[in-house]
């Protein structure tokens, strides 16, 4: 294996030695977009983890209202083992972790968390241990968590899995659980860096503020009016909405939330805006005026209704693009349901759907998806000519 390669950080500052085999990674200084330069918490540097820019192209989803045009931004293609939108946040978060001398990373999520898997992969790229606090069903807490979907990738890259119950998560919250595990890890001699749920801290929001600079360059003059995206921890949606407002012309942003209440997400977004120096007296509006959050969780987080899986299957068969059942599938189902209920409201709109990834979560829904796939009747027995007399078998 090739020797570790040093890459420069900010000019004149200490260089960072990247783990052997990771020569493609670069720690580099970061300059904010001009329209975001006055915000607080501008990152000092970033790792180049993502494959950017991600494509934007038309998306012929069935059943769109007349006069409505839909495109898709393929942030499922950021790379790093299908890590989707989380990579953009982790570029900044892990740069800070390394700058502050941390040797390991811990984060929290559901048992099939895309964010937890992305964090584990990014940490291993940089030669850091990862510790994942994952919420699971009470009856499964004392069992091996298995290797389905995201868990397989996490465990292959050496992540440590720490299972907790819903009650424990509700009682201690993310910070309480993170503090408890961090204390245990420090007793072992580690110096862990805590990554907030979904990477949705102030620093994580910069991943999608920066994405709006990328989108500016890709879509200038194309007349987009709306952006739609799934919302699970609010950092991605808020970065898009704030970037859209600051960069202009201020597209209408629809965030389809897949867990918790609208009030919770608006409160969390207002808190992040205040920390960014974009409180209402500065920005001119609160989070509620900045983006439109729509309830799309259905039966609950990671629980799939038949109509949501039908939407995923129909779109995959029609366009070749596969959504995930926890985030993007619910978001698109919410969007097309709104369009069907009031097609006139979407007439003349040009909408960009941000695909945030999550493909591996599909394996957790295989039993529910199987009948939808099988009923299409596309599995056949090929009839072949019989072997001729004397022909070798």
Distance CA 392, CA 113 (A): 52
The b-or-e profile of 123-138 (16+ CB within 10 A means b, else e) is bbbbebbbbbbbbbee
The dihedral through the CA atoms of 374, 375, 377, 378 has a sign that is negative
Provide the pairing of β-strand 27-29 with 16-17.
unpaired
Enzyme catalytic residues: 113
| Sheet with 69-73, edge to edge strand ranges | 56-58, 69-73, 350-354, 226-231, 252-257, 292-295
E strand residue ranges, 251-385: 252-257, 292-295, 350-354
> Which residues partner with 253 through β-bridges?
227
Distance CA 75, CA 71 (A): 13
Q: Could you tell me how many helices (H) and strands (E) the chain has, helices first?
A: 13, 14
Radius of gyration of the CA atoms of the chain, in A: 22
């Amino acid at each position: 294996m090739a020797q570790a390669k040093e890459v420069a950080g900010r000019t004149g500052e200490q260089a960072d030695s990247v783990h052997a085999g990771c020569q493609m990674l670069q720690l580099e200084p970061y300059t904010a977009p001009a329209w975001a330069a006055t915000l607080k918490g501008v990152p000092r540097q970033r790792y180049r983890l993502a494959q950017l820019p991600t494509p934007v192209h038309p998306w012929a989803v069935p059943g769109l209202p007349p006069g409505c045009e839909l495109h898709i931004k393929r942030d499922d293609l950021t790379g790093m083992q299908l890590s989707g939108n989380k990579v953009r946040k982790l570029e900044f978060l892990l740069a800070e972790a390394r700058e502050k001398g941390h040797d390991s990373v811990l984060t929290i999520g559901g048992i099939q968390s895309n964010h937890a898997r992305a964090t584990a992969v990014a940490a291993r790229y940089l030669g850091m241990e990862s510790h994942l606090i994952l919420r699971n069903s009470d009856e499964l807490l004392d069992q091996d968590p298995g290797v389905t979907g995201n868990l397989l990738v996490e465990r292959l890259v050496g992540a440590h899995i720490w299972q907790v119950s819903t009650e424990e998560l509700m009682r201690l919250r993310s910070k309480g659980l993170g503090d408890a595990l961090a204390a245990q890890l420090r007793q072992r001699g580690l110096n862990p860096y805590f990554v907030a749920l979904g990477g949705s801290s102030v620093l994580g929001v910069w991943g999608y503020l920066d994405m709006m600079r990328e989108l500016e360059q890709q879509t200038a003059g194309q007349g987009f009016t709306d952006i739609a995206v799934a919302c699970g921890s609010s950092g991605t949606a808020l970065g898009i909405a704030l970037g859209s407002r600051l960069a202009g012309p201020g597209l209408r942003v629809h965030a389809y939330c897949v867990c918790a209440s609208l009030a919770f997400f608006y409160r969390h977004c207002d808190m992040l805006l205040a920390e960014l120096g974009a409180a209402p007296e500065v920005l001119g509006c609160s989070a509620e005026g900045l983006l439109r959050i729509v309830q799309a969780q259905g039966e609950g987080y990671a629980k799939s209704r038949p109509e949501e899986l039908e939407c995923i299957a129909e779109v995959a068969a029609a366009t070749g693009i596969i959504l995930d059942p926890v985030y993007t599938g619910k978001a698109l189902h919410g969007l097309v349901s709104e369009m069907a209920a009031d097609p006139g409201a979407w007439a003349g709109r040009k909408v960009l759907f941000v695909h945030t990834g999550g493909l591996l979560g599909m394996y957790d829904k295989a039993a529910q998806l199987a009948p939808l796939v099988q009923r299409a009747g596309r599995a056949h027995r090929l009839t072949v000519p019989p072997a001729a007399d004397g022909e070798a078998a």
